[in-house]
Structure 1
């Protein structure tokens, strides 16, 4: 899906895992692929990973495994986010670092796709 290639994070290998998660979540939406993607991204922006809508990121053990697998990319994405904000990103919910990083990076990746494709 071409829309998923528009992210500023397209150079990171973790994007392949993120894209797989996104595509697997589109089935529950109506419309063509692009419409489904838009609805999914809007839902994610509204309720976030904390809602449990991303089954791959519900359990801390799953997040830990994902984080370890993609550690370098996730930490680099966090650094990019902090550089663009000019300040550190805070873990307000005091989540385990690996869960926080999975949620932060996945939500940012998805928001970037939404911003570049639907705004």
Structure 2
């Protein structure tokens, strides 16, 4: 899907894993592929990973495994975000670091796709 390739995070290996999750999760929405993607991304912005809407990121054990597999990319994405914000990104919920990082980076990835494709 073209919209997913426009991501500023496409250079990271974790992009492939994130893309698979998006393509799988958006299938539960109605409409064309573009409408499905938009509805999924809007839900992600509204309720986020904390809602449990991403099956891969519900359990801490799954997040830990994903984090370990993609550690460098996730930490680099966070650093990129902090550099552009000019401040540290804080874990407001007191989550385990690996869960926080999966949620943070996936939500940022989704927001970036929404911003470049629908705004």
TM range (shorter): over 0.9
RMSD: 0.4
Counterpart in 1 of 2:109? 109
For 2:81 and 2:112, locate their aligned partners in 1 and report how far apart those are by CA, in whole Å.
Answer: 11
For 1:23 and 1:63, locate their aligned partners in 2 and report how far apart those are by CA, in whole Å.
Answer: 19
Q: Which segment is superposed worse, 102-111 or 24-33?
A: 24-33
Q: TM-score, normalised by structure 2?
A: 0.99
- What do the CA deviations read for 1:49-94 (whole angstroms, capped 9, x no partner)? 0000000000000000000000000000000000000000000000
Aligned pairs, number: 119
Counterpart in 1 of 2:44? 44
Cα shift at 1:26: 1.4
Structure 1: any 5+ residue segments left out of the alignment? none
For 1:61 and 1:30, locate their aligned partners in 2 and report how far apart those are by CA, in whole Å.
Answer: 31
Pairs within 5 Å for 1:1-119? 1-119=1-119
Q: Which segment is superposed worse, 20-29 or 100-109?
A: 20-29
Cα shift at 1:5: 0.5
Structure 2: any 5+ residue segments left out of the alignment? none
For 2:73 and 2:2, locate their aligned partners in 1 and report how far apart those are by CA, in whole Å.
Answer: 22
